[in-house]
Amino acid sequence: MGCSLLREAGYEAKGGQIIDATLIPVPIQRNSREENQKIKQGELPEAWREQPHKLSQKDRDARWTKKNGQNHFGYKNHINIDAKHGFIRRYSITEASVHDSQALGAVLDPDNGGDEVWADSAYRDEQVEVGLEALGHSSQIHERAYRNRPLTEEQKASNRKKSKTRAKVEHVFGSWVMTMGGKLVRAVGLARVQAQLGFKNLVYNLKRYVFWQQKSRSQSRVQCV
């Protein structure tokens, strides 16, 4: 469901916002080094121009990235859920190589009734902190350890406290894996991936809406008794 419909149904964005991103894998492209170099430069390999059927199967938008020591090929789905109801309020689809913090501005929700913003340490950056403060937000982004600057016990305790709220966003990705066919997308190109993931985000909101409606009816029956 879209944000306007959610508001009309009484589910306004409240409680602050939780932001996270997840990698979206796509089938790996079997290209030569020369072909990959052309793609990175925004050019089309000459051999592909003469083979339209081959070209239609080539994903020129997906990119490689490394996470936890492993290489991943595909895209990222950056999402924002409200802490109160857990609906996806905003999202942005990018190639996998885009750093999480670079999409923060695209997914911030100005309509959320709360000031707090939760995110993991990947979003921790001095400019981000200054920007959030300037916009009137209260940063609840996890502290990050640096080389020769480990987290203090106080910072670790603060992160654990923040995690209790931030963990709610994992319900979205968990639902994708357990009930919505996983994260793999077999579309070719950013536009098609955006369309598929947009529908998946919408379906998640519909499922979430059914959850809240059923919970509301259950509570009403208990009160009537």
Residue 220 inside a domain? The answer is no
Residue 31 lies in a domain: no
Per-residue pLDDT tens over the stretch 37-48:
877 777 777 777
- Contact (CB, 8 A) for 23 and 65: yes
User: Is 76 inside any structural domain?
Assistant: yes
Please indicate, yes or no, if residue 211 is contained in any of the structural domains: yes
Residue 99's pLDDT is 94
Task: Name the domain count of the chain.
Answer: 1
The CATH code of the domain that includes 162 is: 3.30.420.10
Residues in contact with 124: Cβ distance below 8 Å, sequence separation at least 6, in sequence order: 101, 141, 142, 143, 144
User: pLDDT tens, 66-109?
Assistant: 988 999 999 999 999 999 999 999 999 999 999 999 999 999 99
Residue 103: give the domain boundaries. Answer: 3-26+62-215
Mean pLDDT across the stretch 183-199? 93
Q: What pTM does this model have?
A: 0.88
